[in-house]
Structure 1
Amino acid sequence: MLLPPCVPDQCGKDFRHSLKKPSPNYPYGYKTKKPRLVPAFTIQAMQRNTKVIPPPRCSVFDPNPPRPTLFRKCYQRGEFPVSIEFTIHGRRLAWKVPIEKLDFHHYLPMFFDGLSEGMYPYTFIVEQGINDLVQKGSYKVLPTVPQLVIPIKRALETKRPTVICHALKCIQMIVTGCDKVGEALVPYYRQILPILNLFKDRNRNLGAGIDHTTTRRENVGDLIEETLQILERYGGPDAFINIKYMIPTYESCVLN
């Protein structure tokens, strides 16, 4: 190595610092090279000065974007014989046709298709409409159960807490208000219960605080537990084993 020429103007300290300077041919100097980002489970991950790219964030609880429903289109075209009536006691649905004369195979699946809606007035019309149909035409609900499974599944798959609570309340209406509907829903637990298994323990931990959603029946975890107990009570002898198969953490409210 050639030493720099010793000149009288250069002191000993400057001379020693000049020896520590890196060679101009070395591009990095004393700085370390940044690690390369490489995919996981590859040969590149075993190389030096590399960093494995972390897996993507799991979005299993993220709500799905809303989709246009057939219920909204039909309501905007005026195909439903209902209107919202404001009285001194509040809002209610005014039916233009007697409910007993309606075709439940056409209108009840349409109302259940509106469970995916999360905006007013659709939410009010759907919940109140299903309630009126169940109260005054409960004997016509049982033959329409296979047509209600897909709309219920679509509403639950939105993964929006308000929509899930809305759908669970309507499920409770038809199960408790109509004969043998709970038993008719047992073969369709594989389509309905997976989302309930996902959100069953999805409760907020507020510590010493008070969760006011429980009093308004808007807590997803509590409402799912309540719905599962109703399905077990009204589902017959095979209800519990089918619920347990889809939701292993569920404990029977009848056997215990």
Structure 2
Amino acid sequence: MKKVGSSSSKPVGDRSPEHEKKDNQICDGFTVRAMMKNTVVRGPPLAGAFKERPAKPTAFRKFYERGDFPIALEHDTKGNKIAWKVQVEDLDYLYILPLFFDGLCERTFPYEFFARQGIHDMLEHGGNKVVPVIPFLITPIKNALSLRNRQVICITLKVLQHLVGTVGEALVPYYRQILPVLNIFKNMNVNSGDGIDYSQQKRENIGDLIQETLEAFERCGGETAFRKIKQMIPTYQSCIIN
């Protein structure tokens, strides 16, 4: 039996958990408000390490559309290839090779085909003319990798394997600038959807391609290569058996 004057209502100021939850305010961490009552600390934003970046217009496309490159598209029974209007060995590598590397960021035909196939053709026939151009290739390589686009990364890794096989130890001083993005994607074993095949068996698994590229860097980079790779990618294990 209830006492006279008693009430089932809650005392003034008493609030239910639901009401208290509604009054909670969201704030950033490490602030004065974060230490106050009825506040919920907002979590840190996503780092976005794997987020794809937008591509900027490339100098390669500009020069191609102006007709500055001595190239044309040729079709045969094996597919598309570049018809060079001059001997590849006679090209001005210091001028033209960095422009083709700049085209690694392209993803639309025919720009992406000409840029990537052109690089492989010039590396194959360049010989000693490639080494002096290396300092001018690093920025385009970094730009392509920094897009975080799976297809662009896949193609760039194949180009890097061809490049280090051509110039060897001359590429080692630039490992520090090339390897950070490879460290991010090293354990990503997904198909990139790469639609380009340079007369080789398709290799579309980014994680496997990165491992192949690091092993090529170690084999072709001389005595200091493994140490340079290990500094940037601590989980890498040597592929050379002593």
Where in structure 1 are there 5+ consecutive unaligned residues? Answer: 1-12, 205-210
Alignment of 1:41-190 (within 5 A): 41-176=30-165, 178=166, 181-190=167-176
Matched positions, count = 232
Compare 134-143 and 218-227 and name the one that shifted more: 134-143
Give the structure 2 partner of residue 197 of structure 1.
183
142 and 29 in structure 1: CA distance in 2 versus 1, 3 angstrom threshold: closer
Q: Are the counterparts in 1 of residues 150 and 192 from structure 2 also a CA contact under 8 Å?
A: no
Query: AA paired with 2:43?
Result: P
Q: Unaligned 5+ residue runs, structure 2?
A: 195-200
Match of 2:198 in 1: none
Q: Deviations over 1:127-168 (max 9, x none)?
A: 211121122222311111111111111111111111111111
TM-score by length of 2: 0.86
Structure with max Cα Rg:
1
Deviation at 1:47?
2.2
SS at match of 1:60: coil
Given the superposition, is the C-alpha separation of residues 202 and 212 from structure 1 closer, same or farther in structure 2, using an over 3 Å criterion? Answer: closer
Task: Provide, for residues 21-45 of structure 1, a one-character-per-residue CA deviation record: whole Å limited to 9, x for no partner.
Answer: 679xx69976624212222122322
Describe the shift of the 1:157–1:212 C-alpha distance in structure 2 as closer, same or farther (beyond 3 A).
closer
- Residue 228 of structure 2 corresponds to residue 239 of structure 1: no
Poorly superposed stretches of 4+, deviation over 3 Å: 19-23, 26-31, 211-215
Farther off after superposition, 27-36 or 59-68? 27-36
Identity of aligned residues (%): 47
The one-letter amino acid paired with 1:138 is: G
- The one-letter amino acid of 2:46's match is R
1:219 matched to 2:208: no
From the superposition, tell whether residues 129 and 162 of structure 1 become closer, same or farther in structure 2 (CA, over 3 Å): same
* 3-state SS in 2 of match to 1:139: helix
Q: Structure 1 length normalisation: TM-score?
A: 0.82
